[in-house]
Structure 1
Amino acid sequence: MRSTLNRAVVFALYQLTLFAGILLLPLALAMRKVGFTLPAHRAVSRINDKYEELDKRTA
C-alpha cells in the first residue's frame, strides 16, 4: 500500500513539473535570448529518475 502511495505521489510530482515546464516555456525562451537559462530540465529529469526507480522496485 505504501509503495503504491509513494509511486502515485512521485508520478503526480512528475506531471506537475512537466506542467510547470510547459507554462514557463515562454519565460525560458525570453531569458535564453538575454543569455540566462532556466534549469527546468534538471527538475524534470530528477523526478523522472525517481519515478523509474520506484517503478522498478514495485514492479
Structure 2
Amino acid sequence: MISRVYHATLFALYQLCILIGIVAMPLAIAARQAGVTLPIHRVLANVEDALEARQSEE
C-alpha cells in the first residue's frame, strides 16, 4: 500500500514539475536573455530518475 502511495506521489511530483516548467517558460526565456538560467531542468531530471528507478523496481 505504501509503495503505491509513494509511486503516485512521485508521478504527481513529476507532472507538477512539468507543469511548472511550462508555466515558467516565458520567465525562463526572459531570464536567459538577461544571462541567467533557471535550474528547472535539474529538478525535472532528478524527479524523472526517481520515478524511473521506482518503476524498474516493480
The TM-score normalised by the length of structure 2 is 0.96
Q: How does 1:48-59 map to 2 (within 5 A)?
A: 48-57=48-57, 59=58
Give the partner amino acid of 1:16: L
Report how many residues are paired: 58
Gaps (5+ residues) in structure 1? none
Structure 2 CA distance, aligned partners of 1:31 and 1:5?
36
Share of identical aligned residues, percent?
A: 41
- Please give the per-residue CA displacement for 1:28-58, whole angstroms capped at 9, x wherever unaligned: 000000100001000100000000011111x
Gaps (5+ residues) in structure 2? none
Q: How does 1:30-41 map to 2 (within 5 A)?
A: 30-41=30-41
Aligned to 2:29: 29
The TM-score normalised by the length of structure 1 is 0.94
1:35 match: secondary structure: coil
